Amino acid sequence: MRLLLSAFALRTWGERIKAALPAGELAVVTAEEAFAADAACDADIAFMTREVTGSSSKNNPTPELVGFDAVVRRAPGLRWLQIHPAGAERPIYRELRARGVKVTTASGATAVTVSHSVLGALIAINRRFPLLADAQRRHAWEPRLGERSPRDLAGQCAAIVGMGPIGRNIARLLKTLGLRTIGVRRSAEPVPACDRTIAYGELTSVLPQVDWLILCCPASPLTRGIANAAAFAALPKGAHLINVSRGEIAVEQDVIAALASGHLAGAYLDVFEREPLDRASPLWDMPNVLISPHTASHSLGQNEAIFGIFLDNLARFRTGQKLRNDVDDLG
């Protein structure tokens, strides 16, 4: 077998990868060497790690990502690509799958960190931390009393759109705070951490009771634009939006309008239709919005978790077993 990976990944994990296989069974080529050679690459396995994508966005890929893509495109014998994201929406992944290449994701590796980001943002918004931080910067003593006090989280309702590892972990955490949870997925098959589970097509029917609309689903024809003006209008006034999925799941202008009108009381947004978010976007200056630069999943331990999935799949690949997180199985 011949493995393609970055020079950084080779330095970081090369010895552990080779130790996981019988001696002499695996040869390695770095993406940098293969790109410089400007010729066909003979790798049959490729591992795309986080530093390859680096600060790339869907609109602005880094040179490292462009180079890696070029190499896998000219690897005619490539049979399997392991990627570090949980989602596989980039066009090149569809292109490779059409060639018969197995593409596997790191779904599950980021479930804990993303759900912690969601939990932290939800509590911060509910407890008015952004307003408190603003008052602190102004040296202003502004207690929020009476009807201006935060609502108790216990008894509120969260609709969690997407019931993969991230959505399930979010539901589990919110249950510990006393929230009611509605899971939204392809089918209405029950999910243990949810009080109720519905299909995507039923979302509108439950929105009038939802205080927190949480988006953590993959981008697909079923989910693109699912959070739009009609959906926000169906939510009760004072509801909140959290998006840690993909920017195209929510219609950004509709999000801005709902926040500006006060119908949405607040939002935590980690993803956007165009990234980086335009410096002129009104979202930056909205006091009821928390923004992170597509980093809800980031943690120091994340790369090791992704590497663990790759090692597991490497063992499966060499013995002909079903690969974990195969995009073809995820739909």
The Cα 92–Cα 99 span in angstroms is 11
- Determine whether 139 is an active site residue: no
- 95: tokens are 């292109």
Residue 244 Cα distances to 93, 110, 115, 213, 295, angstroms: 21, 11, 9, 11, 9
What's the CA dihedral at 160, 164, 167, 170 to 10 degrees?
A: 160
- 264: tokens are 């949405």
* Residue 19 CA neighbour count, 13 Å, CB half: 5
Residue 284 Cα distances to 100, 242, 265, 268, 277, angstroms: 43, 15, 15, 12, 9
Cβ(291)–Cβ(146) under 8 Å?
A: no
- Determine whether 263 is an active site residue: no
Residue with tokens 């002129």: 280
Residue with tokens 């296989």: 21
The Cα 255–Cα 273 span in angstroms is 11
Q: Which of 2, 127, 294, 324 is catalytic?
A: 294
List residues bridging with 177 in a β-sheet. none
Q: Which of 16, 137, 246, 263 is catalytic?
A: 246
Cβ(264)–Cβ(239) under 8 Å?
A: yes
Residue with tokens 């390859």: 52
| Cα distance from N-terminal residue to C-terminal residue, the chain | 28
- 297: tokens are 């999943």
Active site residues: 246, 294
